[in-house]
Structure 1
Amino acid sequence: MEQVAIVKEIDELLENYCEDCLARKHMRKERGKSGAHKFCIESCTVGEQLQFLGQELLKVYTKS
């Protein structure tokens, strides 16, 4: 994948799923900012996809 395509896909995921996420808002109220972040990283399928895309982006940067 190209760098531009990966960044665009990350932006689309964040815009479509994360901005108005009720689970994230609830977790932020209950557990605070870091608790909500931990939930997104460990339990959310969108978070898993974002991590995958981040790893792909790192691969592109290391090739350069």
Structure 2
Amino acid sequence: MKDLRRRELIENAESIIVQYCEGCFLHIQLKQESGRRFAHRFCISQCTVGEKLKEYGKKLS
């Protein structure tokens, strides 16, 4: 049962990444202006989609 829940969380996170993150204009722009680390940090800490992905990560660990 736990494996099913884990798989469901991973699939949900993957669908969010595909839908919102791949080709994100804001991420591309930030990466060009301020570098890859800054863009990644922004996505994790300030982007609403990144915050949702962080929640999924906490549930997986």
* TM-score, normalisation: structure 2: 0.90
CA RMSD of aligned residues (A): 1.1
Gapped regions of structure 2 (runs ≥ 5): none
- Offset at 1:17? 0.3
State the match for 1:56 in structure 2.
59
Identity %: 33
Q: Which amino acid aligns with 1:55?
A: K
Q: Which amino acid aligns with 1:7?
A: I
Q: Which has the higher contact order (CA 8 A, sep 6+)?
A: 1
Deviation beyond 3 Å, 4+ runs, structure 1: none
- 1:40 corresponds to which of 33, 39, 43: 43
1:21 is aligned to 2:24 = yes
Q: How many pairs were matched up?
A: 58
Q: Which amino acid aligns with 2:7?
A: V
* TM-score, normalisation: structure 1: 0.86
Q: Which amino acid aligns with 1:57?
A: L
1:4 is aligned to 2:10 = no
Distance 2:20 2:33 in 1: 20
